[in-house]
Amino acid sequence: MSETEEGKYTGSPAPIEPPPAYPPGGRREINADRLLDFLDKWAHKLAPEPEPAEPTPPSEQGGRSILLILLKILPVLCGIGFFVSMFWDLSGSIHVPWDSAPIPLDGLIRMMTVTALIGFGTNWLAIKMLFYPRQKRPLLGQGLIPSRKDKIVTRLGEQISREIINSELILEQIRKSGLIAKHREKLIGSLRNVVRNQEFQEDLSELGRHYINTFLRSPEFQSRIKDFVRGIDFENVGVLEGGILRVYKMLTGDKEISERLQEILQNLSFRVDRYEDQLRDYLHGLPEQLEEQSDSIEEFALNAVVFLVEQVNVQNVIVDNLQRFDEVRLERLLWRSTSDQLQYIQYLGCLLGLVGGFFIWRPAESLVISCLIGGTIWGLDVFIMRMQARARERRPG
């Protein structure tokens, strides 16, 4: 009996019974299908139940304040007043106790409405000049934000990466919130429920049996074993080993060791039944082992989060995304973020212009009245802030 170059044996060995088909339906190459099916079935059961989302605070832009509504009406009234003053205006004069000279009223409506409309118009124009013209024009130039878009997004990325999103702040926030410890406890609880599930244990045993047997029956593994045995010189072994081999050949019908090995390899299979108790004991003790190493796990998780954050260049991410915005989209983004504030500035210009008209008409009286009103508002503001601070100090916890 000889061995050919392809590794096949000639001769007439005893008939070999066909090996049992494994896995069911016949052999198949090692792949990740079984593992993916296993993970798909049990991963969602291992994940902790999600907590209910915190209520989203109401948007400040959702409602309009009464003050803003009144300010929006003011330019309309001033426009109507200016139109009326073109056909009729106040005339004559009035007398006040603190001044012997009469105070003229001629052209008062036109003067007040013009200064108010100028205040509103200049603020409106200044805000529009932030965004328009979007494209550079020969005479009108380009809006402030479109012309300095690259510098704005670069500065924005720098400030966010330095002051808002960095590894130190993220690590501090995670530790302060106890996020990892809370989810670690939930994960261990879910793990305890899963590993004690009889179906999970059966699926895990079947998964191990499948991959081990597929590996043992793989051509690569069997070829390596055959090559290893082929390299052994059975004729020149020791006396004891030679006697054992002769007895073995006699009991097995004088088969060559290599033939017998081929038969064994073809019928080789792995049984996990004898190891199921050990596997079950290990799975039951796994949650407790994780609890004992909870501090190490938490520290590892923190370091992993910091490592991932440090690998991400937050500044580049922000800059790259903002660079993709065209002028229209960038304008909408900034306008949505500052809409109410810009509208206050725009319409307060009308109110301040109206006040300026009074200063032009009666400078001394307007200064006194403005100081009284401004001082009263400032005093009330300071008083309310102090009362709120005292209330917070008295509040328990």
The tens digit of pLDDT for each residue in 8-49 reads 444 444 444 444 444 433 344 556 677 777 777 677 666 656
The pLDDT of residue 155: 85
Quote the CA–CA distance of 91 and 100 in Å, as a whole number.
Answer: 19
The pLDDT of residue 352: 92
Give Cβ neighbours of residue 120 (< 8 Å, ≥ 6 apart).
Answer: 74, 75, 78, 346, 347, 349, 350, 353
**pLDDT grade for 387, boundaries at 50, 70 and 90:** very high
The pLDDT of residue 376: 95
Quote the CA–CA distance of 389 and 374 in Å, as a whole number.
Answer: 23
Give Cβ neighbours of residue 299 (< 8 Å, ≥ 6 apart).
Answer: none
Quote the CA–CA distance of 237 and 260 in Å, as a whole number.
Answer: 18
Give Cβ neighbours of residue 147 (< 8 Å, ≥ 6 apart).
Answer: 136, 141
Q: What does the pLDDT look like over 120-171, one tens digit per residue? A: 999 999 998 888 888 888 888 888 888 888 888 888 888 887 777 777 777 7
Quote the CA–CA distance of 92 and 98 in Å, as a whole number.
Answer: 19
Quote the CA–CA distance of 153 and 334 in Å, as a whole number.
Answer: 12
The pLDDT of residue 3: 44
pTM higher than 0.75? no
Does residue 111 contact residue 361 with C-beta atoms inside 8 Å? Answer: yes
Mean pLDDT estimate for the chain: 74
The pLDDT of residue 232: 58
What's the distance, CA 212 to chain centroid? 39
In the chain, where are the structural domains located? 178-311, 367-397
The burial of 316, by beta-carbon neighbours within 10 Å (0-12 exposed, 13-18 middle, 19 or more buried), is given as exposed
Lowest mean pLDDT, pick from 187-191, 235-239, 352-356: 235-239
Residue 109 tokens read as 């409506």
What's the distance, CA 109 to chain centroid? 58
Q: What does the pLDDT look like over 257-270, one tens digit per residue? A: 556 666 666 665 55
**pLDDT grade for 384, boundaries at 50, 70 and 90:** very high
Give Cβ neighbours of residue 6 (< 8 Å, ≥ 6 apart).
Answer: none
Q: What is the percent of the chain where pLDDT is above 70?
A: 71
